[in-house]
Amino acid sequence: MFMKETVVNNQVGLHARPATFFIQKANEFKSSIWVEKEERRVNAKSLLGVLSLGIVKGTAINLIADGPDEETAVNALVELINSDFSE
């Protein structure tokens, strides 16, 4: 299991288009991946799950992966978030 904390800093947070890009990236990996905000944890490959967290600009989240490509998966998602989804 591999985990990393990051902060979402793009204008709209993890909603609509950014969330779609995030889920598409998460689905490129074999590992199980979760997004954790405070005490809630959801499947990072589920659009409804990710949207249900209500992640806005400035929110700290944990990305957790478990599987054969866990470290690569988490680092790729952190990189996507840090790029502000290329907005």
- At residue 86, the 3 state secondary structure works out as helix
> pLDDT grade, residue 87 (50/70/90)?
low
Q: Is the pLDDT of residue 32 over 70?
A: yes
Contact of 82 with 27, CB cutoff 8 Å: no
pTM for this prediction: 0.94
Residue 61 φ/ψ region, left for φ over 0, alpha for ψ in the -120 to 50 degree band, beta for the rest? beta
- The encoded tokens of residue 49 equal 């799950």
- Residues assigned a catalytic role: 15
Structural domains of the chain, ranges and CATH numbers in brackets: 2-86 (3.30.1340.10)
- Token reading at 62: 């944990």
The answer to whether the Cα torsion of 30, 49, 76, 62 is positive or negative is negative
Residue 7, pLDDT above cutoff 80: yes
Helix ranges (H only) for 1-87 are 16-26, 47-52, 70-82
pLDDT at 47 over 80: yes
